[in-house]
Structures are given as C-alpha cells and as structure tokens.
C-alpha cells in the first residue's frame, strides 16, 4: 500500500482548524482506519488471488471466477474510501488558510495605521495608552494560527461535513452491494470458459469477515460523528443567538432615551397636584371663582346711611 505520510500531514493541518467533534473524527480516521488498514488488513488480502483455488484445470477459468467473486479488492476499496472521504477536508483547509492570510494582512494594515497615529500624536497620555493597548492586542492575535469559525468559513465547514457524510454513505452501500457483511468460504462459478459449475475456495474467509464488519462499523461511527458535529454547530449557533440578545447591555442611546422619558414624566404632572396626589398650597384661584366673588359683592345690600 502507498505511503500515508502526505495525506497524514495535510490532515494534521485540518486538525488545527476543526471543532472538538471534528478532532475526534480525524483521530478515528488516523488510528482505526489508516493505521489498521496499513498494519493489519493489508496482510489478510496478500494471498487473495494466489490462494483462490478452483477445482478445475480449464485454462482461464480460475481468473474469470476470481474476477466475478472479487470485482475490486477490498483493501483497495477501503483506500479509495479514505481518500474520497478525506478530500472535502482538504477543500475546507484551503479556505481556512486563505482566511488566515486575509486576517494577517488586515492585522498588518491596522498595525501600520496605529503606528502612524502614534508618531503623529500630540502629547496626550490617555490616547497614547489606548493606541498602545490596541497594538499589544494585535501582537497577541498574531500568535493565533486558527481562523475564527464564522461567516463563509462556517458555511464551508458545514458543507464539507455534509459532503463527506454523503461519500461515506455511498461507500458503505457500495461495499454491501459488492460483498455484503459476510465472506463465504465457498464460491460457485458458472461463467465461461468453465465447463460447468465450478467450486472455488476463498482463503481466510472468517478473518476477512471480521475486517469487513470492523471497517463498516468504523465507517458508521464516523458517519454518526458527522451528524453529531452538524447538530453541535447548529445548537451552538442557536444558543449564541438567543442568549446573545438577552444579555446585550443597553447602549448609550437607550440610556439617554430612558432618562429623557423619566424627566418628561416628572414634569408633565396635572396643575395643582403633587406626585403623591395632594393639592398644591400655592396654587392660585381660577378666573371663574374670581368672577363669582365679584358678582356676590356687588349684589350684597348696602347699609343705610
């Protein structure tokens, strides 16, 4: 089998830009698929064709029967499965590296702008300290080698999980259609140029069955992790949007509006009324009361002179 070093080094870079569930998926890919396939499973299929024996001496019959019994070697089928399942991760890694370079360029522009402001700044200690703090933050951000998972990068991440899930399901169905879940020790072949029904015997059928079940089980676990990761990202997004709105502090404009409304409510009280509902002692009499008093005084009888 070929060398896994190139694919392994690329997937290690993907490991940096993945979530915790994605890191578990990559660990399973490395240990339970690539390592097992390279160390143990390859030896089981080494004698696959040489030990495929048919009880006939007809030339070409054994080769024809072997081609019918094993359309593709399972060891090569699993290698193709690993390569195709890993390919969407390489696309995501390319996007993540592009985002990292874009963020680095943006940081360099901000740093140059802040340095220019510091050089042109008049002696103002508070403003200078603020600019120095921003510069220190930019220097700390330079050490981060992981792009934030949001926006277009988040969409690419979800799309690559969906793509590798579809590929995983396709390969699992393909293996089932080709071989099922059990390797039979006896294969009966009726293809020409065989003269009649020929019995062919498969080497190590039980061992091959164990590896078939194991690799399919690992593929099912990987598929479950893909679904779990999509659910984790969706719940995290919903939780962030809900609790982010609830815990958002009131801005200065909202505080000014509330203060203005409280002042208006204190000023716009009814005339002659206090806040506790009592009458004001210094409230002047109305015009109607004054006119009634004057008419009563004019109509009163005068004393005789």
Residue (of 178, 175, 177, 162) closest to 214 by Cα position: 175
Bridge partners (DSSP) listed for residue 188: 199
% of the chain with per-residue pLDDT over 90: 12
Q: What is the mean pLDDT of the chain?
A: 73
Range in 14-23, 60-69, 150-159, 223-232 the model is least confident about? 14-23
Cβ neighbors of 25 (< 8 A, separation 6 or more) are 18, 222, 225, 226, 229
Q: What is the pLDDT of residue 4?
A: 60
Mean predicted confidence (pLDDT) in 278-282 = 45
Q: pLDDT-based confidence at 169, cuts 50/70/90?
A: very high
- Binned at pLDDT 50, 70 and 90, residue 163 comes out as very high
pLDDT for residue 142: 56
pLDDT band at residue 176 using 50, 70 and 90 as cut-offs:
very high
CB 215 within 8 A of CB 76: no
Question: 5-245 belongs to which CATH class?
Answer: mainly alpha
Confidence class of residue 90 from pLDDT cuts 50, 70 and 90? confident
Confidence at 20, pLDDT banded by 50, 70, 90: confident
Confidence at residue 204, expressed as pLDDT on a 0 to 100 scale: 85
Tens-digit pLDDT profile for residues 177-213: 988 888 888 888 888 888 888 888 988 888 889 989 9
In order, the DSSP letters of the chain are: ----HHHHHHHHHHHHTS-HHHHHHHHHIIIIIIIHIIIIIHHHTTTTTTT-EES---TTHHHHHHHHH-SS-HHHHHHHHHHHHHHHHHHHHHHHHHHHHHHHHHHHHHHHHHHHHHHH--S-HHHHHHHHHHHHHHHHHHT--S----THHHHHHHHHHHHHHHHHHHHHHHHHHHHTT---SEEEE--TTSSS-EEEE-SSHHHHHHHHHHHHHHHHHHHHHHHHHHHHHHHHHHHHHHHHHHTPPPPHHHHHHHHHHHHHHHH-PPTTB-TTSPBPTTPPPPHHHHHHHHHHHHHSPPPP-
Q: Are 26 and 11 in contact (CB under 8 A)?
A: yes
pLDDT at 70: 87
The 10s digit of each residue's pLDDT in 111-160 is 666 666 666 656 566 666 666 676 666 666 655 566 677 778 888 888 98
pLDDT band at 222 (very low <50, low <70, confident <90, very high): very high
Q: What is the pLDDT of residues 225-261, one digit of tens each?
A: 999 988 888 877 766 666 655 555 544 444 444 444 4
Q: Where are the domains of the chain?
A: 5-245
- Residues whose CB falls within 8 Å of the CB of residue 22, separated by 6 or more in sequence, listed in order: 14, 15, 161, 229
pLDDT band at 267 (very low <50, low <70, confident <90, very high): very low
């Amino acid at each position: 089998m070929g060398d896994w070093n190139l694919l392994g080094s690329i997937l290690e870079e993907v490991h940096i830009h993945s979530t915790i569930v994605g890191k578990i998926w990559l660990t399973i890919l490395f240990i339970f698929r690539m390592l097992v396939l390279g160390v143990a499973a390859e030896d089981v299929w080494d004698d696959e064709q040489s030990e495929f024996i048919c009880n006939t001496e007809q030339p070409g019959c054994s080769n024809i029967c072997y081609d019918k019994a094993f359309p593709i070697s399972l060891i090569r089928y699993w290698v193709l499965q690993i390569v195709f399942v890993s390919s969407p991760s390489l696309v995501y890694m390319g996007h993540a590296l592009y985002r990292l370079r874009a963020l680095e360029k943006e940081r360099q522009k901000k740093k140059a702008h802040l340095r220019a402001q510091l050089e042109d700044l008049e002696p103002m200690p508070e403003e200078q300290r603020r600019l120095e703090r921003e510069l220190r933050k930019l220097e700390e951000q330079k050490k981060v080698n992981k792009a934030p998972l949001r926006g277009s990068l988040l969409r690419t991440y979800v799309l690559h999980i969906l793509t590798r899930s579809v590929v995983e399901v396709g390969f699992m169905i393909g293996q089932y259609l080709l071989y099922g879940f059990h390797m039979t020790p006896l294969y009966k072949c009726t293809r020409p140029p065989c003269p009649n029904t020929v019995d062919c015997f498969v080497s190590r059928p039980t061992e091959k069955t164990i590896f078939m079940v194991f690799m399919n089980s690992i593929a099912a676990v990987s598929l479950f992790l893909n679904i779990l990761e999509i659910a984790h990202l969706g719940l995290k997004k919903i939780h962030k949007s809900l609790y982010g709105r609830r815990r958002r502090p009131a801005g200065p404009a909202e505080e000014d509006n509330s203060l203005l409304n409280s002042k208006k409510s204190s000023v716009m009280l009814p005339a002659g009324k206090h806040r506790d509902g009592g009458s004001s002692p210094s409230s002047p009499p109305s015009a109607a009361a004054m006119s009634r008093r004057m008419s009563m005084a004019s109509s009163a009888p005068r004393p005789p002179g």
